[in-house]
Amino acid sequence: MTLADDALLVQGVTTRAGSFELGPIDLDVASGRVLSILGPSGAGKTMLLETIAGFRAAVAGSIRLFGRELGQLPPESRAVGFVFQDAALFPHLSVRKNVGFALRARGERSHERVDELLGRFAITHLAERSPRSLSGGERQRVALARALAARPELLLLDEPLSALDRPTRDDLRTVLQELLCGLGIPAIHVTHDRDEALEIGDQVAVVVAGQVRQMASSDEIVAKPEDDTCARLLGWSELGVGSLDRDILVLGDLAVPTSDSLDRWNGPVSVFYRPEAVLLGADAVGSRGPTHFRATVDRVLPTTPLARVTLGGRPALTVLLLPRDLGRLGLRAGITVDVELPPDSLRVFRPTGA
Amino acid sequence: MTDSRATAERSGVAGGGPTDMMVRAGARRAWPSGVFQALLWLASGLLIAFIVLPLVRLAATSSPSSLISAAREAEVRDAVLLSLQDAAITAAIATVLGVPLAYLLAQRRIPAPGLVQAIVDLPLAVPHTVAGIALLFLLGRTGWVGAPAGHLGVSFYGSQWGIVAAMLFVSAPFAVNSARVAFEAIDPNLERAARSLGATRAHAFRRVTLPLGARGVLTGAVLVYARSIAEFGAVVIIAYYPVTAPVEIYNLFLRSGLAAASAASVLLLIVALATFLVLRTLASGSWLWIADRDPR
């Protein structure tokens, strides 16, 4: 990606709040693309958005939006839309007036624009209602409509779905995806929810303790997390501490060749696996490779959408699979089954601090 | 087997701990809950009675006819009207000057906010006669402000301006604190949302923060008004004349005794309470006898 393609270019941005320091952060987002920032609470994700929006001053670095330097501009001059976690609707104004707030602030009176946005987010019937009377999902639709009314050149979304119940969240996630696809402006979406980040973001950046740990496309970041923290955030489970000796990983009774060479690191390593990639029973019988072993089923939990099977032995592991496979493979507590860990479902990392 | 016995013994030993704690907790719970409830209600009732009884006793001393004759006396009537008028002027000034300070304090955008807040609260701690004397030094004919103001033809000593100045000094904290608490209760993201939608700081304040804090601002104004009508100590020192209602009542009491002062007192009480209740109802948006929140 060349410089000219980057609608948003964040370089070396550093912000402080008390003893917490965020950055230096480097990011770039092209027009029509969405960057999802994934991280645990307290990582500085919201602080980064607040800095880009101008609610918080950066102590260093530059933020360029379509070539304009935003650093010294007040929030109202940045053309950056912000959708807050709790929607932050103006409680004393009706839905219509909330959506029309930006137009009114500029002295425009465009009923058509407000009507169009109300229609687009399917909230026309709520136009005269007070925000206090709306459900969480309705509030976020109003917040999106309100942010777009200002015709922003960048949209920032701070955990817009995290306060919603599951069906509403799934619903709004689709709305959000379609919206962001068609907007033609860059967007940054912050979340602590892995699925949300992967579903909405074209690119995902993992932010931990004020630093970007890894930034890559959704597919790549899930397949190849670069450290144990990223792996955990992206759904990898820890298998235990093994040892690496010239590309041979030893963990419990397993000794497998690994492609994760870790720059010729020899010694203890943290081993992670993808719990949904493990094959069990009849599915694992075909293979007799080094990652094949037999283990006893400790527990079978028929949770949805994926059921959970815990296996005893060395190493102990939890496997996720479709509930219908429980019956097909005849899995139940107490039986001994074949287990296959596909090589690309294993990752090894140097222990934290090494 | 050995293991399980050892575990049982350990838990037996440990069991002494929780049992002890339960005994101790039991000993602490010496008061039946009914006694606690009774004490709560008794203490609250005593305080309410202490506030209400003197006023009821005062009201009982006067008849409608004595009130009418008191209202017909020009001195009493003028004093009550002057008090109402100056209290209203004070409430307006305190609000206009207090709201900006309240906003800065609520936003913590002021240097040394703790010190500024302490200064705002200072009048609550200064005895009112002391406040009157301090104001007289500042606003009197030779004072720092009084002397130049005198050249412009404005006199504080013995004038309505002096009365308003005294009222403002003692009641300003109510305007600032009430508005500050209201502004602090507003989600800071609302103002940020307004800014991100293109509103300048002033526009965001006018369209979002002020309307949302309006009730607190109005409540502050009402409290300033009520406190100003009641003010005696500071007013009597800086402006004995023109005579406000509390000063007139004090004069009546000194000149003609308790009985003569009572009719004017009840009159002032009725006028002050009536205006206070009306304004308070307008400010809070709910009637006095209706709970605005559910029990917790």
pLDDT in tens, A288-308: 677 788 888 999 998 888 899
| Strand partners for A243 | A250, A268
Q: Which of A230, A265, A294 is the last residue of a domain?
A: A230
The packing angle between helices B160-184 and B128-139, to 10°, is 120
- Residues A287, A306, single domain; the answer is yes
Residue A199 host element (H or E) = helix A194-200
Token look-up 């087997």 returns B1
Do A56 and A119 belong to one domain? Answer: yes
Tokens of A57: 């001053």
Q: CB B28: neighbour CB atoms within 10 A?
A: 8
Q: Which residues of A touch B199 (CB under 8 A)?
A: 76, 101-102, 105
CATH number at residue B112: 1.10.3720.10
Instruction: Please indicate, yes or no, if residue B18 is contained in any of the structural domains.
Output: no
Q: Give the confidence band of B225 by pLDDT, cuts at 50, 70, 90.
A: very high
User: Which of chain B's residues have a Cβ under 8 Å away from the Cβ of A106?
Assistant: 198
The mean per-residue pLDDT over the stretch A326-342 comes to 86
Of B192, B195, B212, the CB nearest to A92: B212
Q: Residue B275 in contact with residue B84, Cβ under 8 Å?
A: yes
Amino acid at B164: V
Judge whether A346 and A273 are in contact, CB under 8 Å: yes
pLDDT digits 0-9 by tens, B54-88: 999 888 888 888 888 888 888 899 999 999 999 99
Residue A56 sits in the same domain as residue A125: yes
Give the model's confidence band at A75: pLDDT under 50 very low, under 70 low, under 90 confident, else very high. Answer: very high
Element (H, E) at A242: strand A237-245
Contact B195 A74 (CB under 8 A): yes
pTM for this model (two decimals): 0.82
Our CA-based measurement puts residue B198 at a distance from the nearest CA of chain A, in whole angstroms, of 4
Shared domain check, A48 and A15:
yes
Chain A residues whose beta carbon lies within 8 Å of the beta carbon of residue B212:
90-92
How far is it, in rounded angstroms, from Cα B164 to Cα B93? 9
Structure token digits, residue A166: 């599951």
Q: Give how far A88 is from chain B: nearest CA, Å.
A: 5
Distance from CA of B197 to the nearest CA of A (A): 5
Query: Which chain B residues are within 8 Å of A74, Cβ to Cβ?
Result: 195, 200-201
Give me the pLDDT at residue B5, please: 44
Structural domain count of chain A: 2
Q: Do B190 and A101 touch (CB under 8 A)?
A: no
Distance CA A191, CA A103 (A): 29
Which residue from B minimizes the CA distance to A99?
B197
For chain B, say whether A231 makes contact (Cβ under 8 Å).
no
**pLDDT, position B13:** 41
The pLDDT-based confidence of A169 (bands split at 50, 70, 90) is confident
Q: What pLDDT does A46 receive?
A: 92
Q: What are phi and psi of A88, to 5 degrees?
A: 50, 45
Task: Check if the beta carbon of residue A33 is closer than 8 Å to that of residue A186.
Answer: yes
pLDDT attached to residue A118: 94
Closest-CA distance, B186 to chain A, in angstroms, reads 10
Determine how many CB atoms are found less than 10 A away from the CB of residue B171: 28
B58 is a domain residue: no
Is B174 part of any domain? yes
The verdict on residue A253 lying in a domain is: yes
In this complex, the residue of B196, B203, B208 whose CB is nearest that of residue A90 is B208
CA distances from A312 to A279, A296, B93 (A): 15, 5, 77
Best of B186, B191, B197, B207 to substitute, by most chain A Cβ atoms within 10 angstroms, is B197
Instruction: Give the mean model confidence (pLDDT) for residues A171-175.
Output: 87
The predicted structure's pLDDT at residue B1: 39
For residue A101, the domain's CATH number is: 3.40.50.300
Judge if A141 and A80 occupy the same domain: yes
CA distance A308 to A339: 14
Confidence of residue A168 (pLDDT cuts 50, 70, 90): confident
CA B292 to chain centre: 19
> Is B270's pLDDT higher than 80?
yes
Is pLDDT at B235 greater than 70 in this prediction?
Answer: yes
Cβ atoms of A206 and A213 within 8 Å: the answer is: yes
C-beta atoms of B198 and A53 within 8 A:
no
Residue B85 vs residue A242, higher pLDDT: B85
- Give the nearest chain B residue to A148 (CA atoms): B197
Answer yes or no: is A178 within a domain: yes
| Domain assignment present for A323 | yes
Distance from CA of B187 to the nearest CA of A (A): 8
Encoded tokens for A320: 């996720």
CB contact under 8 A, A76 and B198: yes
Q: Do the Cβ atoms of A105 and B192 come within 8 Å?
A: no
- On chain A, the residues whose CB falls within 8 A of the CB of B197 are 76, 81, 101-102, 105, 146-147, 149-150
Query: Comparing C-alpha atoms, which of A292, A327, A291, A293 is closest to residue A309?
Result: A327
Interface check for A53 against chain B (CB to CB < 8 A): the answer is yes
| Host domain of residue A221 | 3-230
pLDDT at A340 over 60: yes
Smallest Cα distance from B193 to chain A, Å: 7
Residue in A75, A90, A150 closest to B190 by CB? A90
> A259 with A226, same domain?
no
Q: Chain A: give the shortest CA distance to residue B293, in Å.
A: 16
- Give the pLDDT of residue A264: 60
Classify residue B153: in a domain, yes or no. Answer: yes
Residue A342 lies in a domain: yes
Of A230, A264, A296, the position where a domain reaches its end is A230
Residues A209 and A269 in one domain: no
- C-alpha A262/C-alpha A255 separation (Å) is 17
User: Distance (Å, rounded) from C-alpha A235 to C-alpha A272?
Assistant: 10
A26/chain B closest Cα distance in angstroms: 23
- Mean confidence (pLDDT) of chain B: 86
In a domain, A354, yes or no: no
Cα–Cα nearest to B166, from B95, B87, B102: B87
In this structure, the answer to whether residues A250 and A219 fall within a common structural domain is no
Q: To 10 degrees, what angle do helices B258-284 and B245-256 make?
A: 160
Closest to B228 in 3D by CA, of B96, B97, B123, B158: B123
For tokens 């933020």, name the residue. A63
Q: How far is CA A259 from the centre of its chain?
A: 26
What range does the domain containing B195 cover? 70-284
**Considering its fold, how many domains does chain B have in total?**
1
Domain identity same for A71 and A23: yes
Averaged pLDDT, A232-243: 86
Say yes or no to pLDDT of B102 above 70: yes
User: Is B198 in Cβ contact with A150 (below 8 Å)?
Assistant: yes
Lowest mean pLDDT among A24-38, B7-21, B161-175: B7-21
Closest CA to A286 of A245, A248, A340: A340
Q: What is the pLDDT of residues A103-134, one digit of tens each?
A: 988 888 778 899 999 999 999 999 999 999 99
- For A86, A128, B106, B192, B212, the CA distances from B186, given in Å and listed in that order, are 14, 23, 10, 11, 7
How much is the pLDDT for A263? 57
pLDDT value of residue B187: 94
pLDDT band at residue B4 under the 50/70/90 scheme: very low
Q: Does some domain include residue B61?
A: no
pLDDT band of residue B276 (cuts 50, 70, 90) is confident
Query: Is the pLDDT score of B9 beyond 50?
Result: no
Per the domain annotation, does B20 fall within a domain?
no
Residue linked to tokens 């890894």: A214
More confident residue, B11 or B252: B252
pLDDT digits 0-9 by tens, B32-52: 778 888 999 999 999 999 999
Q: B158, B145, B162: which is closest to B89 by C-alpha?
A: B162
Question: Do the domain assignments include residue A85?
Answer: yes
A157 and A176 Cβ atoms separated by less than 8 Å = yes
Q: What is the pLDDT of residue A166?
A: 84
- Closest residue, chain A, to B197 (C-alpha): A102
Do the Cβ atoms of A54 and B212 come within 8 Å? no
Distance from CA of B88 to the nearest CA of A (A): 28
Round to whole Å and give the CA distance between A223 and A283: 22
Alpha helices (H) along chain B = 2-28, 33-61, 64-72, 74-107, 113-125, 128-139, 146-151, 160-184, 188-196, 201-204, 210-230, 233-238, 245-256, 258-284
Going by DSSP bridges, is the β-strand pair A254-257/A248-251 parallel, antiparallel, or unpaired? antiparallel
Domain final residue, candidates A214, A230, A246? A230
A336 three-state secondary structure? strand
pLDDT at residue B27 is higher than 60: no
CB pairs under 8 A between A and B: 70
pLDDT tens-digit readout, B176-202: 999 999 999 999 999 999 999 999 999
**Structure-block tokens of residue A152:** 């922003």
Answer yes or no: do A222 and A315 share one domain: no
Assign residue A252 the CATH number of its domain.
2.40.50.100
In a domain, B166, yes or no: yes
pLDDT at B163: 95
Q: Is the pLDDT of residue A1 over 50?
A: no
**Which is higher by pLDDT, B188 or A344?**
B188
A21 shares its domain with A143: yes
Chain A residue whose CA is closest to B201: A76
Helix axes B258-284, B210-230, angle to 10 degrees: 180
- List the one residue out of B170, B145, B178, B146 whose CA is nearest residue B90: B170
> Which of B187, B196, B211 shows the shortest C-beta gap to A53?
B196
Residue A343 pLDDT greater than 80, yes or no: no
Mean pLDDT of chain A: 87
Residue B19 has pLDDT above 70, yes or no: no
HEC string of B194-214?
A: HHHCCCCHHHHHHHHHHHHHH
pLDDT > 70 in chain B, percent:
86
- Beta-carbon separation of A88 and B199 below 8 A: no
Q: For residue range B123-135, list pLDDT tens digits in order.
A: 999 999 999 999 9
Q: Are residues A211 and A164 in the same domain?
A: yes
Chain B residue closest in CA terms to A77: B198
Interface of B with A (CB under 8 A): 187, 189-190, 192-201, 203, 207-208, 211-212
Cβ-count burial B68-102 (b if 16+ within 10 Å, e if not): eebeeeeebbebbebbbebbbbbbebbbeebbebb
